Amino acid sequence: MNALAEIEQGIEGLLAQPPYGVEPEEHHRALLTLLKKELDYAGERNPRFRNYVEHWPVDFRAAENIADLPYLPVRVFKANPPLALVGAEDVKRTLTSSATTGQVPSRVVLDAATARRMTKGVITIIRDFVGPSRRPYLVVDTPENLKGQAELGARGAAIQALGSFATEVVPCLLPGENGDASLDLEKLLAFAGKWKDSDVLVYGFTYVIWTQLVQTLQRRGITLSMPNVRVLHSGGWKRLEQQAVTRDVFARGVASVFGCSPDRILDYYGMVENVGIVYPDCAHGNKHVPCFGEVIVRDPLTLAPVAAGQRGLIQVCSALPTSFPGFLLLTEDIAEVISYDQCPCGRRGTNFRFAGRAPKAEVRGCGNLERTRYHQVEGSVR
């Protein structure tokens, strides 16, 4: 069996298990073995990546902990062309992150096998939280983001990943002229009337749900009366925090317009680079890691994993990609580890709470000068 086939077999083995049912030691052992094979494979496929792992202070082949394996900062995927383990001819889709204005988005390439695993991973996770049944699916977004394109943004990827739970998909926003969207109220009310008491799935980016759906309906005094809705949302809190919308305010606001209980609103953390894994909140407000991934929270001062109850930088791990080296990624987000295996919800393994983006570095003194400026004055002496 060649290396890739062996890796694929290992991934399928993990995907076949209950995502949160594996005993932590067994999970660690299986994932460590697989990740080492993947690192070896990735080094063979990409000499630049090999150069990186060979300079890692610990030889990954001898590592006894996932935390000792070489991880990449997630920002490396902002490079163009994207860091890949497959040739351009094998790229089926490129996922891009939702960079804010002026920022460079991350780009990760998926071949057919990785794309398939991505969908399978997300379905496995979401099924554990909302159940396996198919149901009407209301998308708080424009029809454009439902299209399957070769280059897919984070919103489109999240919307499509939940498509497997849908009997019908209804987008409820209308595209505007300047890229702004507005609520298609007629369509929304028709959907709500049709599926009033049914089990319905809703998904949208957090700030889109708030600004386009909740605020619009609140202004008009409309309640949809859909008590059995499950609202999933993701995409970060930065913009809402600027408007002083807390998680609690958000959940109560969404619940009030749908006429459901706030516990039917499910926030999840995720990023396109951590392919195939999302982290929804459990009933106890904690995020969990499936058996085909891991989360390591690192102390910024030492980069060592923190103890339960402590905060640090989030490193995400996923065994699923084989088209790009996104196995072990250090993010710029902060989390608190709640416990390493004791969540009352019954899910096994690491559980954590997202605590926001790492604040940008303060202005770093009189040496804070970038080469861009160095070049702006080229040819002149001050």
Partner 1 sequence: MSDMIQAVDSPQTITHAAKRIREIALQKEITPEVVLGVFDQWAAALGDRELHDVPGMSFLRLWLRRGNLEPILLRELGPNSLHGGWREDGRARLRAFPLGVIGHWPAGNVEIQPVLSLTCALLGGNGCLVRVPSGLVEITRRIMDKLQQADREGTLTERVFMAGFDHARMDLQEAMARAVDGAMIWGSAEAVSQVRALPFPHWARVAVFGPRLSAAAMDAATWSDRTQRSSWCQRIARDVWQFDQQACSSPQTLFLERGIGCDPAEFAEDLKKAFQEENRQHPRAEIEPALTTAICMARASWLLDDVGNRALFPATPDWTVLLGTGAEMPDPTQGRTLVVLVVDDLMDVISRFDGTLQTLGLGISDPRKEEMLAQAAGRCGVDRIVKLGRMHVFGSPWDGTELIRPMVRLVRHVLSQD
Q: Which residues bind partner 1 (CB under 8 A)?
A: 47-52, 55, 57-58, 68, 72-73, 75-76, 79, 83, 300-304, 312-313, 330, 332, 334, 358-374, 377-382
CB of 76 to partner 1, least distance (A): 5
* Tokens 């070896």, located at residue: 40
CA distance 222 to 215: 10
Contact yes or no for 248/281 (Cβ under 8 A): no
CB of 272 to partner 1, least distance (A): 18
Residue 213 or 328: which CB sits closer to partner 1?
Answer: 328
Q: Residue 349: what residue type?
A: G
Question: Would the CA dihedral through 59, 60, 63, 69 be positive or negative?
Answer: positive
Residue 54 or 263: which CB sits closer to partner 1?
Answer: 54
CB of 110 to partner 1, least distance (A): 20
CB of 350 to partner 1, least distance (A): 19
Alpha helix positions (H), the chain? 3-15, 24-45, 47-54, 112-130, 154-161, 185-194, 206-208, 215-220, 238-242, 247-258, 371-376
CA distance 129 to 149: 28
Contact yes or no for 208/140 (Cβ under 8 A): yes
Residue 219 or 371: which CB sits closer to partner 1?
Answer: 371
Give the number of other CB atoms < 10 A from CB of residue 65.
11
Give which of 213, 218, 206 is closest to 268, Cα–Cα: 206
CA distance 191 to 31: 43
Residue 1 or 366: which CB sits closer to partner 1?
Answer: 366
CB of 238 to partner 1, least distance (A): 15
Residue 16 or 369: which CB sits closer to partner 1?
Answer: 369
Helix (H) or strand (E) holding 335: strand 328-339
CB of 356 to partner 1, least distance (A): 11
CB of 269 to partner 1, least distance (A): 17
CA distance 309 to 311: 7
Q: CA of 166: how far to CAs of 199, 203, 205, in Å?
A: 11, 11, 18
Residue 217 or 328: which CB sits closer to partner 1?
Answer: 328
Residue 5 or 366: which CB sits closer to partner 1?
Answer: 366
- Strand-strand pairing, 72-73 and 328-339: parallel
CB of 336 to partner 1, least distance (A): 13
CA distance 225 to 230: 13
Residue 118 or 330: which CB sits closer to partner 1?
Answer: 330
Residue 219 or 360: which CB sits closer to partner 1?
Answer: 360
Residue 36 or 196: which CB sits closer to partner 1?
Answer: 36
CA distance 51 to 73: 15
Residue 212 DSSP class: I
